[in-house]
Every structure is written in C-alpha cells, then in structure tokens.
C-alpha cells in the first residue's frame, strides 16, 4: 500500500517539533531579557548567543556521522529529554531566585549539545517518513509551519514574558520538550544503512577526511566556504544582539518581538513567491546577486533609523532580499553536492557559517559595551559589502548558479 504524506510518523514528528519550537522561542526571548536585565552587558548577551553556535561549529562535522550509525529514534527522544531536564532545572532555580548568569551559560552549553545531535537525526528521518513523490510538499509543510510558528511565537513572546514572567516561561519550555520526547517514542523509525556500525574515532575521522577532500577539490566550494565564514563574521552577529539593540533604541521587549515577527513574515513571503515563480538560470543568478547586496543597503538604513515603523519597513525589505539571495544560493548548493557524503560536507559548510556568526556575536557584544550598537551594526554590514560583491559576481559563482 502506498504511503500517504499525512501518515502517523509524519504527524507525530511535525506536532512534536512544533510544540518544542514554540517553547524554545519563548525561552530564548525570556532568558535573553533576564540576562540583559540582570547585567546590562552586551558582551554577556553576545557570549550567551554564541555558545550554541560554537558547539555547532566544532561538532556538526562529526555529529552527522555518529547519528548515521546510531538509532535515530532514541537520539531524538534522548536529546529532547536532556533539553527538558535542563529547562525544568533552570526554571526551578529561577522560581527560587537561585538562578545566576554562570548557570544560564552552562545550561546553554548543555542544551546546544542536544541540538547538534537532534538536528541531523530529525532531518534524515524526515527523508524516510515522507513519500518520495511528496517530498517537496512535505518539506514545505515543515518549513512553512516552522516559519509560521516563529513569526507568531516571536511576536507573542515579549508579551508572554511580561504576563507570565521568566521562570514560568522556562518551565513551559521544559514541558514542551518533554511532550516532544513522548510523541517521538511512538514514531516508527526505519534503520539507516550504517545503523549498528561501531562508532569509532577512526571511522568518524575517515568520514570527515572524505568531506574535506571534496570541499578542497571543488573550485566553487573552495570559494563559498571561506566566503560564508567572512560574511557571517562581519555582519551576522548583529542578529544575535537585536534585543539589546531595540532596548538601546528605546523600544520595548514587545516591540522587539514584533520586529522579529516582521522579519520572519517577510522571509516567508519571499519563500512562497520563489516557490510559485519558475525562474530561468540567468534570473536566478540576478535574484541571488541583487538579493544579497540589496539586503545590506536596507539593513544599514534600518539600523540608522530612530523611528520603529521606519526600522520595521527596512527590516522587512532586508529580510525579503536576504532570503531571496540565500534561497537561490542554497538550492544550487544542494543540487551540486555529491550524494554519498552530502551530510558531512553540509556539516563543514554549516561550521564555517555558524562559526563566523559565533565569533561575530562575541566581537559585537564586547564592542557593544563601549560603542552604540547601531553604529557597529551599520559598519559591519558596510564592510561585508565588498566580499559579498566579490563572491556574487565571481565568474565561478555565476557559472555555478547557471549550471545548477
């Protein structure tokens, strides 16, 4: 019998993931607000935001290899239970007023260990439980639901923090992860080809070596991976400090939530438009080039504005253009990767991208204690314009997009 898209496993994974995502969103805003209120330090905000990114940077090239050999069902359940235990502990400490900044940083580190293994397990499981001829629709449902939850959840998170308080928000996040773990226990998870193989350092290093060889032997990947590191190093850290940026501008935590929702909504609109319109290879190239470069211009104008409405308009335009550039580029990249070691290669690309963002967050945070954030954000984005234009209009980039 032909498998349907809306099968038991798909529904369980979708609703469990959706519930935990809502909790994670509220927690990120709540704990960021708590740290900033306690310390008023931009550098601590940058460090807290960068912890999970540093873990991802160092472990993502290896976590996929480990997950391929493990039972993915118990990876998912185990990581959600770990997240739940961490969040419930932090929530209890917050209620008893025993929570401290070092504990928050330790919790962020432990939670990020769960995420770096949960992500490849859920991504590869999706490929197994969605029918092949419904893959695009299934992926769109996951992506669309995640974007919708992010848009609504971020908008309401500031209000929820004000109404419920930080301790209760953290407890809710812990319970949402527990609910997700219970849901995943009932998913039928197919075995992978490599499941059951002994996990050894030697085998993981062999998988890593193969991915590195592929990256350095492909001219376009040799250009893109360093470019991703440099561009994120110069500008991406600004997004991790948007809460203190808004408060520095005199905006409330509610307005921060609305701003982030506007960003997500604009990105979602862009994805829908690109999904509905079939572009020629030449048009795809110009959408990518104009999207990347145009986003810098709109973001700088937004950072320099003092009025919230004007900031929101430029943020929406920046998100629209940035998403357009990334969507075209990522689609071409996925098609170009060899299937036999795609996950490992993506792990290194993610490491470069996330690593640049993590270092950027720390630098912006440290400098933000001495200089206004809007000046730092504007300067960083303007500096990124040079390498961005170099990458976009490099002959290899154009050839790559036109041929993929």
Give residue-wise pLDDT tens across range 360-379.
888 888 888 888 888 999 99
pLDDT at res. 153:
65
Q: Is pLDDT at 89 greater than 80 in this prediction?
A: yes
Better pLDDT: 193 or 363: 363
Q: Is pLDDT at 151 greater than 80 in this prediction?
A: no
pLDDT at res. 155:
63
Average pLDDT of the segment spanning 228-237: 82
pLDDT at res. 1:
44
Residue 354 token pair: 């996330």
Please check whether the two domains, 1-199 and 201-404, share a CATH topology: yes
pTM score above 0.85: no
Better pLDDT: 281 or 180: 180
Sign of CA pseudo-dihedral 90, 94, 100, 104:
positive
Long-range CB pairs of 388-394, under 8 A, 24+ apart, other chains included: 388/231, 388/292, 388/293, 388/296, 389/293, 390/227, 391/223, 391/224, 391/227, 391/231, 392/288, 392/289, 392/292, 392/293, 393/289, 394/223
For domain 1-199, give the fold. Answer: Growth Hormone; Chain: A; (1.20.1250)
Average pLDDT of the segment spanning 378-394: 88
Mean pLDDT for all residues in the chain? 79
pLDDT at res. 369:
82
CATH 3.90.25.10 fits 201-404, yes or no: no
**pLDDT range class, residue 50, cuts 50, 70, 90:** confident
Contact between 157 and 26 under an 8 Å Cβ cutoff? The reply is yes
DSSP one-letter string for 127-164:
HHHS-GGGHHHHHHHHHHHHHHHHHHHHHHHHHHHHHH
- The domain limits of the chain are 1-199, 201-404
pLDDT at res. 142:
67
């Amino acid at each position: 019998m032909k498998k349907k898209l809306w099968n038991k496993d798909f529904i369980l994974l979708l609703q469990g993931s959706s519930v935990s995502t809502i909790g994670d969103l509220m927690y990120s805003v709540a704990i960021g607000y708590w740290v900033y209120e306690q310390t008023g330090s931009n550098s601590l905000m940058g460090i807290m935001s960068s912890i999970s990114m540093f873990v991802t940077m160092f472990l993502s090239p290896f976590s996929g290899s480990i997950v391929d050999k493990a039972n993915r069902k118990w990876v998912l359940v185990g990581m959600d239970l770990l997240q739940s235990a961490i969040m419930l502990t932090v929530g209890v400490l917050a209620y008893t007023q025993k929570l401290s900044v070092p504990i928050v940083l330790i919790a962020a580190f432990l939670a990020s260990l769960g995420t770096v293994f949960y992500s490849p397990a859920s991504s590869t499981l999706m490929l197994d439980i969605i029918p092949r001829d419904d893959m695009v629709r299934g992926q769109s449902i996951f992506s669309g639901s995640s974007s919708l939850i992010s848009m609504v959840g971020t908008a309401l998170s500031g209000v929820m923090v004000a109404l419920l308080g930080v301790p209760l928000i953290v407890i809710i996040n812990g319970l949402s992860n527990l609910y997700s773990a219970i849901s995943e226990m009932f998913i039928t998870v197919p075995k992978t080809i490599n499941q059951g193989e002994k996990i050894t350092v030697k085998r993981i290093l062999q998988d890593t070596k193969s991915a590195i060889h592929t990256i350095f032997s492909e001219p376009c990947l040799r250009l893109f991976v360093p470019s991703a590191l440099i561009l994120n190093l110069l500008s991406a850290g600004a997004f991790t400090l948007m809460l203190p940026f808004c408060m520095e501008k005199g905006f409330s935590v509610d307005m921060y939530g609305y701003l982030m929702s506007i960003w997500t909504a604009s990105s979602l609109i862009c994805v829908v438009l690109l999904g509905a319109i079939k572009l020629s290879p030449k048009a795809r190239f110009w959408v990518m080039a104009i999207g990347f470069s145009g986003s810098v211009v709109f973001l700088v104008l937004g950072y320099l504005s003092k009025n919230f409405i004007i900031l929101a308009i430029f943020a929406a335009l920046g998100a629209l253009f940035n998403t357009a550039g990334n969507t075209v580029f990522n689609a071409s990249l996925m098609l170009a990767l060899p299937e036999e070691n795609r996950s490992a290669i993506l792990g290194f690309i993610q490491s470069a991208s996330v690593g640049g963002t993590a270092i950027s967050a720390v630098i912006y945070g440290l400098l933000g204690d001495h200089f206004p954030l809007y000046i730092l954000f504007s300067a960083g984005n303007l500096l990124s314009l040079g390498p961005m234009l170099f990458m976009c209009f490099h002959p290899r980039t154009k050839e790559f997009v036109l041929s993929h």
